[in-house]
Amino acid sequence: AQSVTQLGSHVSVSEGALVLLRCNYSSSVPPYLFWYVQYPNQGLQLLLKYTSAATLVKGINGFEAEFKKSETSFHLTKPSAHMSDAAEYFCAVSDGGATNKLIFGTGTLLAVQP
């Protein structure tokens, strides 16, 4: 069965500092991986996705993530945090099989300090 593990339920950074949110996955087949962001009282929106075309994926708002098969990781980074990045971030995995289920991690709440 597929799963994702997000290390760190809360991460706090200073404005302008590097953002690093960790995601490790488990999948018996080559996975499709996603990062979503959720702002308060809103639904989820896609930041970026990995679909095997390139291991370094660039998304919206300056975020990027690198797929590392040897480490089964798909960590999300941004070089310089903005106050507007404060939100909850979810990593998700899909196996692309007949069911196409999308399974989410437990989320990381990012706080950005002025």
Binding site for another protein (CB under 8 A): 6, 9, 32, 34, 42-46, 49, 51, 90, 94-107
Q: Rank residues 20 and 102 by Cβ distance to another protein and give the closer one.
A: 102
Tell the smallest beta-carbon distance from residue 75 to another protein (Å): 17
Q: Rank residues 8 and 16 by Cβ distance to another protein and give the closer one.
A: 8
Tell the smallest beta-carbon distance from residue 78 to another protein (Å): 19
Query: Distances in Å between the alpha carbon of 38 and those of 1, 32, 45, 55?
Result: 25, 20, 7, 24
Tell the smallest beta-carbon distance from residue 20 to another protein (Å): 19
List all residues 6 or more positions away from 72 whose beta carbon is below 8 Å from its beta carbon. Answer: 24, 25, 26
Distance separating alpha carbons of residues 105 and 98, to the nearest angstrom: 21
Q: Rank residues 43 and 114 by Cβ distance to another protein and give the closer one.
A: 43
Q: Rank residues 98 and 114 by Cβ distance to another protein and give the closer one.
A: 98
Neighbours of 35 (CB within 10 A): 24
- The answer to whether the beta carbons of residues 59 and 48 sit under 8 Å apart is yes
